[in-house]
Amino acid sequence: MKQSMAMKILSRNLLEGELIQGNEIKIKVNQTLTQDSTGTMVYLQLEKLEIDEVKTDLSVAYIDHNMLQQGFENADDHEFIKSVAKRHNIVYSKAGGGICHQVHLERFGKPNTVLIGSDSHTPTGGGLGQLAIGAGGLDVAIAMAKGFYSIVVPKIYNVKLKGQLADYANGKDVILTILQELTVKGGTGYIMEYTGEGVKSLSVTDRATIANMGAELGATTSIFPSDEKTKEFLVAQGRGGDFTPLEPDHDAIYDATLEIDLCDIVPMVACPHLPDNVKRVRDINGLKIDQVAIGSCTNSSYTDMMKAAKILENNRVHEDVSLVISPGSANIMRILAENGALSTFIQAGARILESGCGPCIGMGQAPKSGGISLRTFNRNFRGRSGTMDAEVYLVSPQTAALSAVKGCLSTPEYLDLDLKVDELKSYGKNESYFIYPKEEDRNAPVAMGPNIKEVPVGEKLGEKIEGKVILKVGDNVTTDDICPSNAILLPFRSNVPYLSNFAFSTLTPDFKKVADEHDGGIIVGGDNYGQGSSREHAALVPLYLKVKAVIAKSFARIHFSNLINAGIIPLVFENPVDYDAVDFLDDVEIPDILGTIEVGKATLVNKTKNTSIRLISVFSERQIEVLKVCGYLNYMKDHER
């Protein structure tokens, strides 16, 4: 009794350890998903684990990020992933099939199970009552190879919903309201658990939108109950048999609570350059815009598309605006083609993209210089759109569609139009993009294109760590900063040496030069270091450049694990003001590094300033062992065979 929904699933899947907040436990993984931009590293590492077939009930490899094929690189990566999928009993979802999170929600996600995905927005599955967690690529490879995932038991944040959303509002406006309240680090260390009467009124897709952007709160994941709405959604997707109910015990214990009346939710907008820089749309109504993009794993469901279609019907996109629409899955695209919504979009003057991440990760549709882009996406970090000086605002599909017509940011609150869209009773299926594993393909050779390079592995730890501070950065540095992604760099996700040329290039032009000059060194960061994407490249690139430790005020969860997995030591200032006592190019040393890792306390000797600073580390026993052998791959070789 007294169990929250998350605790129920964790206890059911518990393999090792005690379910006490702060403890690291091992849980059984039922499903995994990968996408192509993190996937090549996942599958390179999976091959190293020398398995026959995956230990999960279901593993799916999606191709949705690297869809532009300006050269051979992306196509080679897809071929590589397909070949590994065939060898190890993994379902392969071809390019064009749709965005991993949306397709997984439609086709595979199951309430009451654990899903681990190599993408930070894996929590989208929480909309279905699935405990869906984003992780680094190696963690996902290990989940496939061994069937488990190690996680520190999080605290549980109860978001109690009451009331009902107006038709002009969207799950997006709910999560933007929460981001305004809690900020991009407000969910760190928590699972966000949504309960209350208000849940009943939310469609599964609105729930999924909210769960999706829980990633922007820094939360481990987000979860909704599995109820009548969930059942209806699964039945409509032809998967009624996958339904099981989920709700918290009436006396469930929570660590924090936030109450939200859905009746109070109005259209919201996240202003440049962070998802928590939120205002009411009505407060900046009239802002002139150049581009509108509707899609991404946050807002590309059937209901989202139809809300946009209702607004665009018999209307025309403003002459100064480029509207681009990418439906979340091939099945949604098919439905829109059949019900006429696609022709509404085209008639209105929209540009239609194939189903995939597209502009969300800078794969095309970069705005013009200094352009203002309104997007239904989840991240508006500087430069992510592909244009460094563009300004990206995040909104709902309703706000986006109306603004595209008006040519300026416009709130749908006062629109005299029925915006209600119900879920379909039957979504049908589109199986044509899936390749299901077949016994006769199990010995297919691994297809390695010339751009696919080895995964770097950590070097043995010496007695101490010494070197220069080769970079000092501020708060909320993202993995997009550490290892930028855009149409030019995404094709090199399987080539860490090449990517290393661009490390931190959004913040400084010559990080690699400095790292090379000093033979690596130490990075100093602020609060929430490594927020955003799950890409382990943000650890592998620094590893390749011989970064030995990162010292920050605090870390984002997935990046913290990725650093440890790579064998780079993440340490925290015991006293955050000491951040000011270390400067770029200071000569520093951490003596007795092994002892430090074990006791969780360290001293940073600043030889330049002749001072010393106290650092702390909070590592689980497993993480200590991983760091001692310089990375999780090395550890797996010794421990889990």
**Cα–chain center distance at 616:** 27
> Out of ligand MIC, ligand SF4, none, which partner does residue 99 contact, by CB within 5 to 8 A per kind?
ligand SF4
**With contact defined as beta carbons under 8 Å apart, do 559 and 156 qualify?**
no
| Residue 537 makes contact with ligand SF4 by CB under 6 A | no
Nearer to ligand MIC, 234 or 540 (CB): 540
Residue 523 vs residues 383, 466, 470, 542, 617: alpha-carbon distances, Å: 22, 12, 6, 9, 15
Measured between alpha carbons, how far is 619 from 623 in angstroms, rounded to an integer?
A: 6
- Selected from 128, 294, 321, 360, the binder of ligand SF4 by CB under 6 A is 360
In the complex with ligand MIC, the residue whose CB is nearer, 395 or 588, is 395
Q: Which residues contribute to the site for ligand MIC (CB under 6 A)? A: 37-38, 65, 119-121, 361, 379, 485, 532-535
CA-CA distance, 570 to 562, in Å (whole number)? 10
| Cross-strand bridge partners of residue 14 | 27
Of 126 and 225, which has the nearer Cβ to ligand MIC? 126
Quick one: which of 536, 98, 131, 31 has its CA closest to 297?
A: 98
C-beta of 458: minimal distance to ligand MIC in Å? Answer: 21
Cβ atoms within 10 Å, residue 255: 14
> From the list ligand SF4, ligand MIC, none, which binds 485 (C-beta under 5 to 8 Å, kind-based)?
ligand MIC
Min dist. Cβ of residue 132 to ligand MIC (A): 13
121 touches ligand SF4 (CB under 6 A): yes
Closest to ligand SF4 by CB, 380 vs 399, is: 380
Phi, then psi, of 539 in degrees rounded to 5: -105, -35
Asked if omega into 273 is within 30° of 0 (cis), the reply is yes
Residues 273, 46: Cα–Cα separation, whole Å: 36
Comparing CB distances to ligand SF4, the nearer of 403 and 534 is: 534
d(CA 510, CA 579): 22
**Which of ligand SF4, ligand MIC, none is residue 32 near (CB under 5 to 8 Å by kind)?**
none
Cα-Cα-Cα-Cα torsion 562, 567, 572, 573, nearest 10 degrees, comes to: -140
DSSP designation for 263: G
Contacting residue, 128, 361, 394, 572, with ligand SF4 by CB under 6 A: 361
By the rule CB under 6 A, 478 interacts with ligand SF4: no
Nearer to ligand MIC, 313 or 498 (CB): 498
CB of 165 to ligand MIC, least distance (A): 25
Helix (H) or strand (E) holding 308: helix 302-312
382 belongs to the binding site for ligand SF4 (CB under 6 A): no
Does residue 297 bind ligand SF4 (CB under 6 A)?
Answer: yes
From the CB of 1, what's the least distance to ligand MIC, in Å?
36
Alpha carbon distance 555, 558 (integer Å)? 9
Nearer Cβ to ligand SF4, position 41 or 99? 99
Relative to beta strand 291-294, strand 268-270 is: unpaired
DSSP string, 601-624: EEEEEETTTTEEEEEE----HHHH
Q: Which of residues 29-88 bind ligand SF4 (CB under 6 A)?
A: 65
Dihedral of alpha carbons 44, 46, 52, 54, sign: negative
Rounded to 5 degrees, what angle do the CA atoms 483, 365, 314 make? 145
> What does the alpha-carbon distance between residue 597 and residue 625 come to, in Å, rounded to a whole number?
9
DSSP 187: T
Query: In this complex, which beta carbon is closest to ligand SF4, that of residue 299 or of residue 596?
Result: 299
Closest by CA position to 159, among listed 107, 119, 210: 210
Regarding 512 and contact with ligand SF4 (CB under 6 A), the answer is no
The answer to whether 527 contacts ligand SF4 (rule: CB under 6 A) is no
Is the backbone of residue 352 left (phi > 0), alpha (psi -120 to 50) or beta? beta
Please identify, using beta-carbon distances, which residue of 103 and 361 lies nearer to ligand MIC: 361
Q: How far apart are CA 303 and CA 21, in angstroms?
A: 37
Identify the residue among 47, 73, 77, 119 touching ligand SF4 (CB under 6 A): 119
- Contacted entry of ligand SF4, ligand MIC, none for residue 38, CB cut-off 5 to 8 Å set by kind: ligand MIC
List the single partner that 296 binds among ligand SF4, ligand MIC, none, CB under 5 to 8 Å by kind.
ligand SF4
Q: In this structure, what DSSP letter does residue 489 have?
A: T
Shortest separation between residue 562's beta carbon and ligand SF4, angstroms = 16
Give me 202's structure tokens.
């939310």
Stretch that binds ligand SF4, among 8-16, 164-172, 355-363, 546-554 (CB under 6 A): 355-363
Q: Interface with ligand SF4 includes 357 (CB under 6 A)? A: yes
103 vs 361, beta carbon nearer ligand SF4: 361
Specify the residue, 87 or 101, whose C-beta has the smaller distance to ligand SF4. 101
Instruction: Quote the least distance from Cβ 345 to ligand MIC, whole Å.
Output: 24
Least CB distance to ligand MIC at residue 559 (A): 10
- Binding residues for ligand SF4, rule CB under 6 A, total 11
* Contact call for residue 332 and ligand SF4 (CB under 6 A): no
Q: Which residues bind ligand SF4 (CB under 6 A)?
A: 65, 99, 119, 121, 296-297, 357, 360-361, 377-378
